[in-house]
Amino acid sequence: MSHQFVIDLSRDAILTALMIAAPMLIIALGVGLVVSVIQSVTQIQEQTLSFVPKLVMVGGAFIVGLPWLLQILIKYTTSLIQGIPGMVG
């Protein structure tokens, strides 16, 4: 197993993790920003007010994006399993 092969496997794993996590993190960032602006305008400083909308939106994004996320994971796992003979030989 060459150094380049290990680097490629690591890069693919990191890119796959980023592709899976990025949509939910971006939605949480956007919702948090909107809620923070609303809180600062209305001067309501309740901690749970920012948590509940983030939870609902990230959960909804996960449910809506689940087929796409599963396709990415299946593609990555399939390519990883198909590459096992090249790792051994």
Hey, where are the domains in the chain? Answer: 3-88
Name the residue among 3, 2, 4, 9 with its Cα closest to residue 83.
Answer: 9
User: pLDDT tens for residues 38-83?
Assistant: 988 988 888 778 889 999 999 999 999 999 999 999 999 999 999 8
pLDDT tier for residue 85 given thresholds of 50, 70 and 90: confident
Within 8 A by CB and 6+ apart from 36, the residues are 50
pLDDT at position 48 is: 79
- Are 72 and 16 in contact by the 8 Å Cβ rule? The answer is yes
Q: Which tens digit of pLDDT belongs to each residue from 17-35? A: 999 999 999 999 999 999 9
Listed residue (24, 23, 17) closest to 56, CA to CA: 24
